[in-house]
């Protein structure tokens, strides 16, 4: 079986008769087996995927026009996205054994177009982390170097595509969780505008920041998946009613793009020198291609991380209060009364990072500190939002590195949560401002050879031009 990089290639093979859906699924199932050591999948839906493939083959044979737009699309789901009658745990002991009663709207829409869901994949517990080390299933390994993290929290969604175990995967991005692992693993990671894809059926972390995103080998597949998943939803009042554009058409801008980058970002002391060089080389290529790329000042870059971690933990402490040992998942067998049911179930069920964040969030929301932290962070968010809007009055895109460093070794940052948080410096702005952002593979680091990504952001709901531009300026990952 050849290595497919896009759904178009898969469909060509299906149409020419060289490949059937069943043989395709068997191929990916073999890849999943061959990459067990990377700890990507926490559950494989083997029988179901094969049954669906056989059903599709039969339907296609009868009438090739009867299959959906995602005929041949194999998908892995991050373990925070609900799929009816399947377990979903957010990689947490507190949800072990919990089966979802419904499917996320995004999943429903993929299924309606005949996507095949292969399984659910690992992540940081409740999507809190940047390395996929905070999981009750153990860490996932980066296929580029199994001694290193794949990034996070959608780390296994990235490795699933990187290691060719599926064509695409869904992740969630609250502060960079799709884009940073994509950069660490040499794949395309796309986070749409806040509200572009319904959050119904996505386990909530920071509800004002959360968004489902995709990990793919090509921008064209990201665009197609967006076109199918986007749009209003009666189950999520924050899902936008803005028209779903023909993203998959990837219609170019038709004029040179105006691109801004922040001096503060490319001169940032935390930015690795090799990544800085590669980013400048990319800027040079864009200029050579006729685009206008200008350095601008963005004085809030160093405020993005503190604002994000105050707001995300505040929202998390509220969202995670529902895991009380009564309604979902784990209930401590040692509990004697209501108080000890809450206390023990949560003590046993949550991992250390999740507890840290619940405490942080409860602290910043507590009456004595609310104004000093939560209100202040909201004000900073507003400034960041306004400044971001102002940039897009003049520019089409903002260009930033996706991460200040390449994939680190296991354990390197896990003892120092602040060091881990600071590694999100280039990704959280897009979530705070609610704008779409994409991480694209830029090549291998000149010294350590590890994958490096670059990030492009656009104004809210300008996915069509962002994806078209990204498509024009990236090579598919081979
Ligand atoms: N690393 C960030 C965090 O830990 C982002 C996570 C995410 O986007 N889900 O909160």
282: in domain: no
Same-domain check for residues 215 and 343: no
- The answer to whether residue 50 is domain-embedded is yes
Ligand 1 pocket test target in 90, 175, 405 with most atoms within 8 Å of CB:
175
Q: Do 112 and 184 lie in a common domain?
A: yes
190 & 332 share domain: no
* CATH code for the domain in which residue 163 is found: 3.90.1300.10
Ligand 1 center to residue 128 CA distance, Å?
Answer: 5
Distance 174 CA to ligand 1 centre (A): 5
As beta bridge partners, residue 43 has 120
| Catalytic residue set | 78, 153, 177
Residues 226 and 153 in one domain: yes
Q: Is residue 324 part of a domain?
A: yes
Residue 418: Cβ-neighbour burial (10 angstroms; 0-12, 13-18, 19+): exposed
Ligand 1 pocket residue status of 465, Cβ below 6 Å: no
114 and 236 inside one domain: yes
**Do 41 and 143 share a domain, yes or no?**
yes
Residue-level pLDDT at 474? 81
Q: Is residue 176 in contact with ligand 1, taking CB distance under 6 Å?
A: yes
Closest C-alpha residue for ligand 1 atom 10: 128
**Under a CB-based contact definition with an 8 Å cutoff, are residues 308 and 349 in contact?**
no
Residue nearest to atom 4 of ligand 1 (CA): 129
pLDDT of residue 8: 98
Q: Is the same domain home to 28 and 153?
A: yes
User: Domain boundary at 249, 269, 285, which?
Assistant: 249
Spell out the per-residue pLDDT of the chain, length 478, in tens. 889 999 999 999 999 998 999 999 999 999 999 999 999 999 999 999 999 999 999 999 999 999 999 999 999 999 999 999 999 999 999 999 999 999 999 999 999 999 999 999 999 999 999 999 999 999 999 999 999 999 999 999 999 999 999 999 999 999 999 999 999 999 999 999 999 999 999 999 999 999 999 999 999 999 999 999 999 999 999 999 999 999 999 999 999 999 999 999 999 999 999 999 999 999 999 999 999 999 999 999 999 999 999 999 999 999 999 999 998 889 999 999 999 999 999 999 999 999 999 999 999 999 999 999 999 999 999 999 999 999 999 999 999 999 999 999 999 998 899 999 999 999 999 999 999 999 999 999 999 999 999 999 999 999 999 999 999 988 533 3
281 domain-assigned:
no
Question: Residue 312 CA: which ligand 1 atom is closest?
Answer: 10
State in Å: Cα 427 to ligand 1 middle: 9
Q: Are 57 and 176 in the same domain?
A: yes
Rounded distance from Cα 126 to ligand 1 centre (Å): 9
Full domain range(s) for residue 101: 7-249
Q: Are residues 208 and 113 in the same domain?
A: yes
Tell whether ligand 1 has an atom less than 6 A from the beta carbon of residue 128: yes
Query: Same domain for 164 and 28?
Result: yes
Q: Is residue 389 part of a domain?
A: no
Judged on CB neighbours under 10 Å (0-12, 13-18, 19+), 236 is: middle
Q: Quote the ligand 1 centre to 428 CA distance (angstroms).
A: 8
Residues 62 and 204 in one domain: yes
* Ligand 1 within 6 A of CB of 424: yes
What residues pair up with 148 in beta bridges, in sequence order?
Answer: 409
State which of 350, 366, 382 marks the end of a domain. 366
In a domain, 205, yes or no: yes
For ligand 1, mutation pick of 176, 203, 320, 430 (most atoms within 8 Å of CB): 176
Q: Is the residue at 414 inside a domain?
A: no
Tell me, yes or no, whether 59 lies in a domain. yes
Q: State the pLDDT at residue 477.
A: 39
212 and 347, same domain (yes or no)? no
Tell me if 312 CB under 6 Å of ligand 1: yes
The total number of structural domains in the chain stands at 2
Residue 170 near residue 189 (C-beta atoms within 8 A): no
């Amino acid at each position: 079986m050849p290595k497919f990089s896009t759904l178009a290639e898969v469909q060509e093979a299906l149409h020419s008769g060289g490949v059937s859906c069943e043989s395709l699924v068997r191929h990916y199932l073999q890849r999943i087996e061959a990459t067990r050591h990377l700890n990507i999948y926490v559950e494989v839906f083997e029988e179901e995927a094969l049954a669906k493939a056989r059903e599709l083959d039969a339907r296609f044979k009868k009438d090739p026009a009867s299959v959906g737009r995602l005929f041949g699309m194999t998908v892995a789901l991050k373990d925070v996205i609900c799929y009816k009658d399947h377990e979903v745990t957010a990689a947490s002991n507190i949800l072990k054994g919990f089966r979802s009663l419904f499917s996320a709207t995004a999943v429903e829409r993929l299924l309606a177009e005949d996507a095949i869901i292969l399984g659910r994949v690992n992540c940081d517990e409740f999507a809190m982390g940047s390395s996929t080390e905070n999981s009750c299933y153990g860490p996932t390994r980066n296929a580029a170097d199994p001694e290193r993290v794949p990034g996070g929290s959608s780390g296994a969604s990235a490795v699933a595509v990187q290691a060719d175990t599926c064509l695409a995967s869904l992740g969630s991005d609250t502060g960079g969780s799709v884009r940073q692992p994509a950069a660490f693993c040499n794949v395309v990671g796309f986070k749409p505008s806040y509200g572009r894809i319904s959050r119904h059926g996505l386990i909530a972390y920071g509800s004002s920041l959360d968004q489902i995103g995709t990990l793919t080998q090509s921008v064209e597949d990201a665009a197609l998946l967006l076109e199918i998943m986007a749009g209003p939803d009666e189950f999520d009042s924050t899902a936008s009613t803005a028209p779903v554009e023909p993203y998959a058409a990837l219609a170019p801008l038709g004029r040179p793009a105006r691109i801004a980058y922040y001096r503060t970002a490319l001169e940032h002391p935390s930015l690795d020198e090799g990544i800085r060089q590669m980013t400048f080389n990319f800027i040079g290529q864009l200029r050579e291609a006729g685009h206008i790329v200008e350095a601008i000042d963005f004085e809030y870059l160093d405020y993005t991380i503190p604002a994000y971690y105050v707001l995300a933990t505040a929202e998390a402490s509220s969202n995670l209060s529902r895991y009380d040992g009564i309604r979902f998942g784990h209930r401590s067998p040692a509990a004697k009364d209501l108080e000890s049911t809450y206390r023990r179930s949560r003590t046993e069920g949550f991992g250390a990072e999740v507890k840290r964040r619940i405490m942080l969030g409860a602290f910043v929301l507590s009456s004595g500190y609310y104004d000093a932290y939560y209100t202040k962070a909201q004000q900073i968010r507003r400034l960041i939002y306004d400044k971001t809007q102002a940039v897009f009055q003049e520019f089409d895109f903002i260009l930033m590195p996706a991460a200040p460093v390449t994939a680190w070794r296991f354990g390197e940052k896990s003892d120092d949560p602040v060091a881990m948080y600071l590694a999100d410096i280039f990704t959280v702005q897009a979530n705070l401002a609610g704008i779409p952002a994409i991480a694209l593979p830029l090549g291998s680091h000149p010294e350590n050879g590890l994958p490096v990504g670059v990030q492009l952001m656009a104004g809210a709901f300008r996915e069509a031009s962002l994806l078209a531009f990204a498509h024009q300026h990236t090579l598919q990952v081979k």
